[in-house]
């Protein structure tokens, strides 16, 4: 049998690791601010991806691939970080659903563009630019609304 004194540090470490996955939001206002900052971060990544597609003829393929790859990573990180914030109320659940819908859509769109880029290039660059402009606008509007 393992003495209780030897299990205490393990229990403390386990509790710390599990709690590190979730950051607190103290109230609805704090949660909305975090959601707004999340949307702002996503806007930046979407705009970088848009620049690659819009100016594809002015950059090398490897450089564009790096920028798109980083944009996908940034959006994934944004989703993971905000997904770990617990909403404090039902109204915050709605804010959470809205921001994650937008940021996950942005991540998916940019990831699809990266796949296209690696294969034969972006199939319809003008449509992709319009889609990214729309996403950036929606994310910006969300961020502005939740300041």
Summarize pLDDT for 95-124 with one digit per residue, the tens: 999 999 999 999 999 999 999 999 989 999
How far is residue 36's CA from residue 20's CA, in Å, rounded to a whole number?
22
Containing structural domain, residue 74: 27-145
Number of domains in the chain: 1
Name, in order, each residue with C-beta under 8 angstroms of 56's C-beta and a sequence gap of 6 or more.
64, 121, 122, 125
Residue-level pLDDT at 23? 67
User: Residue 3: inside a domain, yes or no?
Assistant: no
pLDDT band at 24; cut points 50, 70, 90? confident
- Confidence check: pLDDT of 127 > 90: yes
Report the chain's mean pLDDT, rounded to a whole number: 87
**Looking at residue 99, which CATH number applies to its domain?**
1.20.120
User: Residue 91: inside a domain, yes or no?
Assistant: yes
Taking the model in full, what pTM does it have? 0.82
- Confidence check: pLDDT of 17 > 80: no
């Amino acid at each position: 049998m393992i003495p209780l004194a030897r299990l205490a540090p393990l229990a403390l470490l386990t509790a710390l690791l599990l709690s590190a996955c979730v950051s607190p939001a103290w109230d609805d206002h704090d949660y909305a601010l975090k959601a707004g900052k999340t949307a702002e971060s996503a806007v930046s990544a979407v705009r970088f991806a848009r620049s690659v597609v819009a100016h594809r003829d002015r950059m090398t393929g490897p450089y564009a691939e790096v920028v798109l790859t980083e944009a996908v990573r940034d959006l994934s990180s944004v989703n993971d970080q905000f997904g770990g914030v617990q909403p404090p109320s039902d109204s915050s659940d709605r804010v959470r659903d809205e921001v994650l819908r937008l940021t996950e859509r942005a991540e998916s769109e940019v990831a699809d563009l990266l796949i296209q880029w690696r294969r034969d290039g972006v199939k319809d660059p003008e449509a992709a630019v319009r889609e990214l402009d729309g996403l950036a606008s929606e994310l910006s509007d969300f961020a502005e609304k939740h300041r």
